[in-house]
Structure 1
């Protein structure tokens, strides 16, 4: 029996005293991946969503630490939902533990008549302020955040401190909304299994990226000509920030290893889209190799990326630390094979080894070169992997996010009735 659309499911639920369920969502800043989801939630008939931002950094041109260049997103970040930037007593234009420091959080919750607080993260003074205020005002709090047990090395002391911190934190959290299987393991480890969980997977606007990718297919030949790429040769794509933890340098070395004893019908190109702290190291390695088929293309804005997805045959994210990797969602919407490392947070949810791509150990150059060989040696298999990527990502969407949020709302409503 097919499941009901999330909006229908909420419409069938009883409202609170004849009014919509009011949610206060607190998040660091407008995020390009979240904006379309917030628009969909705001359009639900049984929900009244109010978004509070700690910073406006992303709605103006700013230096992104990861990209290392000025960034101003070319997609709407604030349209279609009710939002407010909180006043600050300290704002140095950063996103850090104590910057910015916002005021008025308690007052907003005290006077807003909210039925629940939804908080994204717990890692700054502002997040801790929200946790304290919600607990003090007895407002149920839904937690969503990115960390996993493998996203960074942690000493025994740090693990002990984190366990103690979460023993305190669990008293302020009504439920968590895991974004992935690895994120679920994290919550189970630090919060235990007693706190209810309602999966809210880290999705992107599938409809947007699938539509853009279909449009881009018509211009693939034009882009190939712009980049002076020979038709018929496969294209390997890296598209992310050039941060040390993302290990683009490992992909360059794996590509050079692959090409040193080429067993493919045609030599592939390697396209690197992005910018950041590792750019100098990557460029130096390319210059040293004298390989003219590796192209550094710099930063490209979000709406431009589907052109490069459609040009590529396989996408690679070789990170040694990656909480999730939403760029993988984007590429899968273009029906492309993907290769990721075991350290990429989305791999358990989105990438099945030898089905729609490959999963390799991080910083294993030989394994990455072998994965490239396997994916590219059979063009039809590579295309089939891409078709499976599209099949999988269709089930990892905003619909699932809304279902998770509605399930959490139902839990809060039922708990209140029992109380």
Structure 2
């Protein structure tokens, strides 16, 4: 790659440093044909580290701004940043900076790539005047973009349903650093027996895992209900990794479950490795990157049909998709996946292999080439 080709000056605008994106941005910056510059609307101060979803202060233990050129909006001039770019890439349209950048790019005739998480499962327009106004607003946003980076099928359908043509949509799948998660899970496997013992889990017991924010829309309470018919001697154990508003309620509902509290990014692979099945029973979930993480660690996965990644990542070989809110269906899915956890875990690893940062870079470069060709 590269050769005598002049690198595309790509300016990426995003609200703040995001732990899931850091490694991807470093990978893009290392690409010889892309000169990446990232503009953050803000960075976290110590006070900003409080995460309302987790209900606690969070300090991520992965580097968020290493391996790529970045600047905070307060330390630069947005108009100059836009003018210097060949192409502008926006992560959504929900903040003042992103909307202002869209206006500036139009004024300076700089092509715009849009990447968002929206899907109708999680973010329907609604009905009546409110729905009409939202569709009108989105049409004004989208008509100012020259390309769209789809994170998956549901996201692509969202754009198509709002008038975006297929020729303007490029695949840039929502991915995590598969290699890092897989490597850490492999190392953690050596200490799996020790971790089980430290948590009071018998060596032969199966483990069902929920990891994330204890929020109502994530439906951890549904998982507790679905596990009840499985309880008994030698029954699988339910492990909750995370924190949030429902912490006290869940502890009351499931006194037999194990609660580890919040675990940071580097600690999660050990728990994915520990688990036989990972469950995300959410309602209105745009994607669910924890599913990617679990699959990269070789864990079978169960998700509801309102989780955005379901259609792309979950097949009968690596997990189950159940109707959102259906306790009985989730119980049946648990029984099946627990019985077939080893084979499903291997299939999950194979499935997620192609859903990675390499695919992201390929999709992004395809989009950049297309937009430069149209310029």
- Please, what TM-score do these two structures have when normalized by structure 2? 0.96
Q: Structure 1's 58 and 266: CA in aligned 2 closer, same or farther, altered over 3 A?
A: farther
Match of 2:327 among 359, 365, 370: 365
State how far apart, in whole Å, the 1-side matches of 2:273 and 2:191 are: 9
Deviation for aligned residue 1:284: 2.0
Match of 1:177, SS state, is strand
Match of 1:151 in 2: 122
Correspondence 1:44 to 2:31? yes
Correspondence 1:114 to 2:101? no
Correspondence 1:272 to 2:272? no
Correspondence 1:387 to 2:349? no
Is the 8 Å Cα contact of residues 175 and 198 (structure 1) preserved in structure 2?
yes
Correspondence 1:86 to 2:73? yes
1:7-406 matches, within 5 Å, as 8=1, 11=2, 15=5, 19-57=6-44, 62-87=49-74, 104-110=77-83, 113-152=84-123, 154-156=125-127, 157-193=129-165, 196-259=168-231, 266-287=234-255, 292=256, 294-352=257-315, 354-376=316-338, 378=339, 381-406=340-365
Q: Which runs of 5+ in 1 are unaligned?
A: 1-7, 89-102
Is the 8 Å Cα contact of residues 320 and 344 (structure 1) preserved in structure 2?
yes
Match of 1:93 in 2: none
Deviation for aligned residue 1:51: 0.2
Displaced runs of 4 or more, over 6 A: 58-61
State how far apart, in whole Å, the 2-side matches of 1:139 and 1:341 are: 40
Q: Structure 1's 231 and 202: CA in aligned 2 closer, same or farther, altered over 3 A?
A: same
Deviation for aligned residue 1:413: 2.1
State how far apart, in whole Å, the 2-side matches of 1:60 and 1:386 are: 39
State how far apart, in whole Å, the 2-side matches of 1:166 and 1:226 are: 51
State how far apart, in whole Å, the 2-side matches of 1:47 and 1:331 are: 31
State how far apart, in whole Å, the 1-side matches of 2:45 and 2:345 are: 32
Deviation for aligned residue 1:148: 0.3
Alignment RMSD (CA, Å): 1.7
Is the 8 Å Cα contact of residues 185 and 273 (structure 2) preserved in structure 1?
yes
State how far apart, in whole Å, the 1-side matches of 2:47 and 2:314 are: 35
Is the 8 Å Cα contact of residues 31 and 77 (structure 1) preserved in structure 2?
yes
State how far apart, in whole Å, the 1-side matches of 2:248 and 2:242 are: 12
Q: Structure 1's 336 and 80: CA in aligned 2 closer, same or farther, altered over 3 A?
A: same
Q: Which runs of 5+ in 2 are unaligned?
A: none
Is the 8 Å Cα contact of residues 196 and 202 (structure 2) preserved in structure 1?
yes
CA deviations 1:389-410 (Å, max 9, x no partner) are: 0001001000110001100111
Match of 1:92 in 2: none
State how far apart, in whole Å, the 1-side matches of 2:124 and 2:221 are: 20
State how far apart, in whole Å, the 2-side matches of 1:345 and 1:137 are: 35
Deviates more, 1:165-174 or 1:130-139: 165-174
State how far apart, in whole Å, the 1-side matches of 2:103 and 2:197 are: 57
State how far apart, in whole Å, the 1-side matches of 2:122 and 2:310 are: 12
Is the 8 Å Cα contact of residues 200 and 404 (structure 1) preserved in structure 2?
yes
